[in-house]
Structures are given as C-alpha cells and as structure tokens.
C-alpha cells in the first residue's frame, strides 16, 4: 500500500486534519457566540451537509454530495465504479467528522438539543442572517442626525444603494457597520442604522 510506504506523509496529514478540526471547533464557538448575541455571520456552508445535519433533518446523500463535490457526483453517475464509491464514502465520512468538530464548538455555547426544532434552512437563516441586503428594511430602521428622510442627499443615497449589486451592498455594510449581513427582521436589529451629518464642514 502506497500510504504505508510513506508513513511520514500520512502522519503530517493526520496533524493537518487535527488542526482543521480544532479550527472548526473554534469556528463553531464563534458562530454560536455570534448567534447568541444576535450577530449574523456569513458562513456559506452546504445546506445538506451542515445545516440539515445539525437539525437532524433527513437528507438526500446524492444532493448533499453535489453541494460539496460535483466531480465525485459525475464519477458516480458515469458508472458504478467501485473506486468512485469508496472515494465518495471516504469524502462523506471526512465531512461528518469535520461537522462533528463544528457542532461541538456550537454546543459549548448553545444547547444543540434545541437545533432539531428548526429546519436546516431556518437554522442557517438564524445563524447567518439574510444573504440578500433588503434596502427597504434597512431604510425603515435608519435614524437621521442632521438630515431629514426626504432630503435630496438621503434620497440619492438610497437610490445608489438600491442600484448596487448584493456583493457591493455587503461591502458597504462591512465598511459602515462591520457586518456584511442584515438580521432577518426589523425587531432583530440591536441598534438602528444611523446616518449623521458631518458638522465640521
């Protein structure tokens, strides 16, 4: 066996896997802490492999595999190649082990027993917020200092924000608010979005 011939390479791989698992444990703690404080985090993780499994929702393994590795799915579809099945099974087992580290991190902050009360989509939305920036909702929670909401400069501001792409809006939010996602609903905002006039000029 080739792997047995290169035991030092295999050992390095195990060390690397341990480091990845520790990083995912830490990421789980961060995500859990952010969720507990109502701060949405941008975690573009696969719905089936992560969010649905955390909520113990049933999943379609082929669809889950498609989210992670489209080439593995193509290999499986091209025929019943025994090697392709082994590689796929190994990939899914590795992903499960990594998910366990992430879930362990979350469980140190949140009671994971409650996660099954949600669907995978609901849990993703609760932890990650809305991936689209709802400009109208942001406008409704905005307070103005030195401006009125019908001033020309404010109208132009909202017009420009509406014309931006989602990625540009995320960059804007990251710059002005240190977050790139909005909460799901207005009541989830811990503080209003504020536009202030610079009084120095």
Extract the tokens encoding 20: 């990845």
Of 71, 82, 40, give the one whose Cα is nearest residue 178.
40
Question: In tens digits, what is the pLDDT along the chain, a chain of 201 residues?
Answer: 333 333 333 334 567 878 988 999 999 999 999 999 888 888 888 888 889 989 999 888 777 777 777 766 676 666 656 666 666 777 777 788 888 999 999 999 999 889 999 999 999 999 998 888 899 999 999 999 989 888 999 999 999 999 999 999 999 989 988 888 888 788 878 788 888 888 776
Widest pairwise Cα distance in the chain = 74
Backbone angles phi, psi at 144, to 5 degrees: -115, 135
Q: How long is the chain?
A: 201
Are the C-beta atoms of residues 112 and 106 closer than 8 Å to each other? yes
Are the C-beta atoms of residues 102 and 43 closer than 8 Å to each other? no
110-115 — which CB contacts under 8 Å span 24+ positions? 110/32, 110/35, 110/36, 112/54, 115/54, 115/55, 115/56
């Amino acid at each position: 066996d080739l792997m047995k011939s290169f035991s030092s390479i295999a050992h390095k791989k195990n060390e690397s896997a341990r480091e990845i698992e520790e990083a995912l444990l830490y990421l789980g703690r961060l995500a859990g802490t952010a969720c507990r404080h109502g701060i949405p985090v941008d975690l573009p993780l696969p719905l089936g492999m992560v969010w649905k499994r955390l909520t113990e929702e049933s999943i379609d393994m082929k669809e889950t595999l498609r989210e992670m590795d489209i080439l593995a799915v193509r290999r499986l579809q091209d025929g019943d190649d025994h090697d392709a099945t082994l590689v796929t099974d190994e990939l899914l087992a590795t992903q499960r082990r990594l998910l366990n580290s992430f879930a362990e991190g979350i469980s140190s902050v949140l009671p994971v027993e409650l996660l099954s009360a949600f669907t995978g989509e609901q849990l993703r939305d609760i932890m990650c917020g809305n991936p689209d920036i709802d400009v109208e909702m942001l406008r409704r929670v905005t307070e103005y200092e030195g401006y009125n909401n019908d001033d020309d400069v404010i109208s132009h501001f909202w017009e420009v924000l509406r014309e931006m792409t989602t990625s540009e809006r995320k960059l804007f939010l990251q710059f002005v608010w240190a977050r790139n996602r909005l909460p799901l609903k207005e009541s989830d905002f811990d503080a209003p979005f504020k536009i202030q006039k610079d009084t120095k000029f």
